[in-house]
Chain A
Amino acid sequence: MSLSTTARRLFNVSVSHCSLTLSRYTTTAKSSSKAISLTCPSKLYIPRREISYSNVAGPLRSENKVTVNFVNRDGEKITVKGSPGDTLLDVVIDQNLDFDGFGACEGTLACSTCHLIFEEEVYKKLGPVTDEEMDMLDLAYGLTDTSRLGCQICLSKSLDGMTARVPESVADIRQSGDGSA
């Protein structure tokens, strides 16, 4: 393990020790998209899937939580819990998951960096895809038939135990230009 990795590991441990959820920086949108849309004066935009916000009705008891497994770009499995009604992007942010560049547009369907790949069975349960989501998905790297955008998927009890894979973003899957070609 290189020195820098050691330091980083240590560092991550100390952060969770202090139960510090809002670090100043690291990967991407560290602060919750909800908070930003309220505080940032330049954002007139209203998230298209308001359902994800209206569904979060006060504190939920832990037995209501949904278990979600993520497989990161290194193939490591990370198991976390989210509340029904949260989007998968909310979960990634709330749990401080370190997926580089994930959620760049903060859940406004304008970037495709929240691309996730699901198992066929789970994919079928995720509900319908809007044209707008498909349009953004078409720009995602390594697009598959069971790809979705994490910011558009709301957790529900029926998804308990699901697995979502963060696709690799290496140069060899990259197509020229936007990936629209």
Chain B
Amino acid sequence: MRNMKMHFAAIQRCLLVQQCMGTSSVNVFTSVRKLASATSTCLKVCIVGAGPAGFYTAQHLLKSRTDVQVDLYERLPVPFGLVRFGVAPDHPEVKNVINTFTQTAQHDRCSFYGNVNVGKDVSVQELQQAYHAVVLSYGAEGNRKMGVTGEDLAGVYSAKDFVGWYNGLPCNKQLQPDLSCETVVILGQGNVALDVARVLLSPLDILKTDITQSALQALEASKVRRVLVVGRRGPLQVACTIKFLREMLNLPDTRTEMLASDFEGISDTLKDLPRPRKRLTELMLKAVKEAKEETDARKRWGFRFLRSPVEVLAGPDGARAAAIRLAVNKLEGSGDAARAVTTGQVEDVECGMIISSIGYKSLPIDSSVPFDLKRAILPNNLGRVQDTSGLYCSGWVKRGPTGVIATTMNDSFDTARTLLQDMESGVLDLSVSKAGSGAISALLGSRGVRVVSFPEWEKINTEEVRRGEVNGKPREKLLDVKEMLSVAWS
């Protein structure tokens, strides 16, 4: 097998050299012998961000052209973006995509450079000078704010930080949320909101995969018994997908607590809905109908509709959140486009913890790169960043922070196709040779930045798996960038 692999690599290299030289000899096997030792690729592309968008863009480029070298620059010493730091610990199967990403990273013409913060350690302009094309795939590292008084009180968290905490994102290590209250209010009804609700209510054995040990301990001591998931619009507008709702309904030892009045008239609309929305709504209606007072269930959860946050109310100490004031809304219009309009009424809900899950948000990376502040994305046309040349984007930073990995995959393939088109049509000047990673490594070196290579990440990986075994888990993530680096470079 090993020989096969080497043979495979040699054929590949030979084809690439042939192409660079503008020949296309049919006699592949003779050429293999002649050119097996030759290297060098003509076209140099770099990708900023090693999440799903970065990897899928790289995969498509590498597959489509044999003369392209793809370098992935990643801020953290570890790859995979939200697959590592977002996807919930009780969904390990989603993380299977890592196997494909690893194959891409190990490809002969792909290199991973971790621990490089683009925009700080190296500018996008510098990358553009060193590469024929630069693809920005740096995701959405910020979050939308509720913009209400009291948002900064203790006990109020963004879902992004809360998720980062249980998934071991280094910058959220210190969060240590106080789980000593009984009721938690989550604002927003997307899949992230339900991820958080599930983590708060699930039995620990379901979570015991790669969740951090400290989060597991905190959840073990948690007093949370009731989670309300609050949306500004109605049941026909919930943002979550049906799989997530079903998981909530199936949580052990947990009763679903909806308000039947919220669903009046909903069943009449079913027949006109598209299949996904129809099935989702039917499942909610079924849950409302079947809801019974199961006295032995210790925990409860439910959706609350037509409520927008107005103010977080502090408890007697003036420092900690004790309740949230919600505006009561009504809907204007119908279907997906319906808008929530306040009725002027408000309602207070007592709770000890508030998690705002109203969406992630991309941030500008570098002053030289155009950014649409209103939509919080890179303004682009089919992945070409507007008013620039040689600059592309894919993933959440291209279309906003929505969509599952499959959406991100398709959108990244689209960007790769655009880039390939520009290569073939001459929009990109490929006649100049570019220094690629050589130039960037020199720059980084002069700035005291040392990169983490893919084999070095694999050392971190091995160490995490080893530590996991100690705790009876598949992995115990390292939580500290310094520690990651010392393992990588050991």
Q: Which A residues fall within an 8 A CB radius of B?
A: 2-4, 6-8, 10-11, 14-15, 18, 20, 22-31, 36, 40-45, 100-101, 104-106, 108-113, 131-132, 134-136, 138-139, 141, 143, 169-171, 174, 176-181
How many Å lie between the Cα of A41 and that of B474 in the bound state?
Answer: 6
Interchain CB contact under 8 A, A180 and B15: no
Closest to B107 in A: A25
Interchain CB contact under 8 A, B402 and A104: no
How many Å lie between the Cα of A174 and that of B414 in the bound state?
Answer: 12
Is B97 in the interface zone, CB < 8 Å from A?
yes
How many Å lie between the Cα of A160 and that of B303 in the bound state?
Answer: 47
Interchain CB contact under 8 A, B66 and A4: yes
Select which of A2, A14, A109, A178 is within 8 A of B407 by beta carbon: A178
Expressed in whole angstroms, the minimum distance between the Cβ of B278 and any Cβ of chain A is: 9
Which bracket fits the contact residues of B? 35 or more
Expressed in whole angstroms, the minimum distance between the Cβ of A63 and any Cβ of chain B is: 30
* In the complex, number of A-B residue pairs with CB atoms less than 8 Å apart: 183
Interchain CB contact under 8 A, A43 and B93: yes
Interchain CB contact under 8 A, A29 and B100: yes
Is B48 in the interface zone, CB < 8 Å from A?
no
Is B64 in the interface zone, CB < 8 Å from A?
yes
- A-chain residues with CB within 8 Å of residue B468 when the two chains form the complex: 41
Closest to A3 in B: B19
Closest to B32 in A: A14
How many Å lie between the Cα of A36 and that of B5 in the bound state?
Answer: 18
Most buried by A among B66, B277, B406: B406
Given A11-B15, A20-B4, also A178-B404 (CB < 8 A): yes
Expressed in whole angstroms, the minimum distance between the Cβ of A131 and any Cβ of chain B is: 7
Given A101-B406, A141-B410, 15 new contacts (CB under 8 A): A8-B66, A15-B8, A20-B7, A23-B8, A25-B107, A29-B96, A31-B99, A41-B465, A42-B95, A111-B405, A135-B241, A135-B246, A136-B243, A138-B241, A177-B402
Q: Which B residues fall within an 8 A CB radius of A?
A: 1, 4-5, 7-9, 11-12, 15-16, 18-19, 22, 24, 26, 28-29, 56, 59-60, 62-67, 91-100, 103-104, 106-108, 191, 209-210, 239-243, 246, 275-277, 279-280, 336, 382, 402-407, 409-411, 413-414, 424, 465, 468, 474-475
